[in-house]
Structure 1
Amino acid sequence: MKHKNSFELFDYWTEKRGARTAPSRTDIEPADIRTLLPHVFICDLSADGQLNFRLAGTALCALHGRELKGSAFASLWLADGVRNAGRTGASVATGATPAVLSLDCLSQGGRVAQAEMLLLPITGPSGLNDRLIGLLSIFDQPYWVGHEPVVGFSSTGIRFIDQAREPVFLANRPEIRLPTPRNFAEAFGQNRKKVAHLVVLDGGRRD
């Protein structure tokens, strides 16, 4: 982890977890993390195993220029990263192992911002590991964020967090580098098509 917001949420999650593998959703008090709420989201698994947004902070929705509640977690990625993103999210939710993703965020105009996404498991009413709480933090936030929507993420690295280690060591854990598209212009072109005067973005869903 590198962003201070990630450390703050991780410390809070660890406190609420106690001796358990994951805290309950009811343990999370919004007032306790009010400064992080615009960037926080909660996802749960549907009956078919797909991870969907139950809640999404205002900053995250503004970043994409749309309401995210009810949409698929993996739909935020460019087409070539949808499957891996879905598997990673589901692995965190069901396996109770936190993860940190390094991301490149591609805007509608082809601009790029670097971000970090923290994924932490939480349990639902059933007591089962079937959901997660997450946080997206953008590094050196560029001027266009909130004005030019992001059309897709590309994961550039991932690290799973060993809960037995102290948080002070987390920043030094090795990151698994992931392949990225040769260039974002190419990736952007692969995720859109023209219909009359409109541009349609492919979210990667395959029914």
Structure 2
Amino acid sequence: MRSKTTIEIYAYWDELRGHRDVPARGQIEPAHVRHILPDLFILEKTPRGEIRFRLAGTRICALFARELRGSRFDALWLGEQTTRIERIAGDVMAQKAPVVLTAAAIAGAADPLASELVLLPLKSPEGRVDRIIGALVPLSRPHWLGATPVNFLELGAMRRLDMDAAGVLLQNRPATSRPSHPRPAADTSLSGAIRRVLHLRVFEGGRRD
């Protein structure tokens, strides 16, 4: 992993899972990772087997110049890669195996922008591993970023993360602050918590928590 953001969200996910294979979605407290929320997303597998965005950070939406609520994850990718990327995301959930991807963000005539993604499996409130928390982070900031929307992503390398080996890497990760104040008693769902962290835009839809 090359991005501090992908390293940090992996570290947080790994801390939450403890000795289990996968943490639960309800364990996520957005305030603990508030400074990287704009680069985070949550995917869910629908009853029809499609993998769609449930939540998306503001920087991700700005990258594509559109809201991603309800859109298919594979729709962001080069046409001939859609089947492969859906299979990768499905395997992350089925095999409970986190992966890191490299991708080139293609925006018109601009030079391709090297980017990194991490996909981390999550359990839904019903106990099924049918969700993913992830990050999408450009690895540089060219002059056109923010002015020219990305048309699609072109998949590069994929690497399944060895969770034992990754622990060595995470020893030098940036410290993650933890708020000292207690959580409010009212509206303790993930969506409610994210609303209190203004860096992330929340798109409603799908099943209730």
Does TM-score exceed 0.5, indicating one fold? yes
Distance between the aligned counterparts of 1:167 and 1:138, measured in 2? 24
Q: Which has the higher strand share?
A: 1
Aligned twin of 1:79: 79
The yes-or-no answer on 1:26 pairing with 2:26 is yes
1:17-96 correspondence to structure 2 within 5 Å: 17-96=17-96
- Alpha-carbon displacement from aligned partner over 1:27-60 (angstroms, at most 9, x marks no partner): 1111001011000000000112111000000000
Distance between the aligned counterparts of 1:141 and 1:37, measured in 2? 18
Distance between the aligned counterparts of 1:110 and 1:143, measured in 2? 10
Distance between the aligned counterparts of 2:60 and 2:93, measured in 1? 20
- Alpha-carbon displacement from aligned partner over 1:43-97 (angstroms, at most 9, x marks no partner): 0001121110000000000000000010000100010111111111111122210
Normalising to structure 2: TM-score of the pair? 0.78
Distance between the aligned counterparts of 2:158 and 2:91, measured in 1? 13
Is the contact between residue 95 and residue 129 of structure 1 (CA under 8 Å) also seen in structure 2? no
Distance between the aligned counterparts of 1:141 and 1:117, measured in 2? 16
Is the contact between residue 110 and residue 144 of structure 2 (CA under 8 Å) also seen in structure 1? no
1:143-182 correspondence to structure 2 within 5 Å: 143-168=143-168
Amino acid at match of 1:7: I
- Alpha-carbon displacement from aligned partner over 1:118-142 (angstroms, at most 9, x marks no partner): 0000110111110100001111111
Distance between the aligned counterparts of 2:60 and 2:10, measured in 1? 18
Distance between the aligned counterparts of 1:146 and 1:42, measured in 2? 22
Measure how far apart 1:164 and its partner are: 3.1
Measure how far apart 1:113 and its partner are: 0.4
How many residue pairs get matched?
A: 170
Is the contact between residue 101 and residue 158 of structure 2 (CA under 8 Å) also seen in structure 1? yes
Aligned twin of 2:139: 139
Is the contact between residue 109 and residue 148 of structure 1 (CA under 8 Å) also seen in structure 2? no
Distance between the aligned counterparts of 1:78 and 1:159, measured in 2? 19
Residue 42 and residue 68 in structure 1: after superposition, are their counterparts in 2 closer, same or farther (change >3 A)? Answer: same
Higher relative contact order (CA 8 A, sep 6+): 2
Measure how far apart 1:162 and its partner are: 1.9
Structure 2: any 5+ residue segments left out of the alignment?
A: 171-209
Distance between the aligned counterparts of 2:121 and 2:103, measured in 1? 20
Residue 12 and residue 62 in structure 1: after superposition, are their counterparts in 2 closer, same or farther (change >3 A)? Answer: same
Distance between the aligned counterparts of 1:110 and 1:50, measured in 2? 31
- The share of aligned pairs that are identical, in percent, is 38
Secondary structure, in 3 states, of the residue corresponding to 2:164? coil
Normalising to structure 1: TM-score of the pair? 0.79
Aligned twin of 1:107: 107
Is the contact between residue 45 and residue 52 of structure 1 (CA under 8 Å) also seen in structure 2? yes
Is the contact between residue 103 and residue 154 of structure 1 (CA under 8 Å) also seen in structure 2? yes
Distance between the aligned counterparts of 1:167 and 1:157, measured in 2? 21
Is the contact between residue 44 and residue 93 of structure 1 (CA under 8 Å) also seen in structure 2? no
Structure 1: any 5+ residue segments left out of the alignment?
A: 171-207
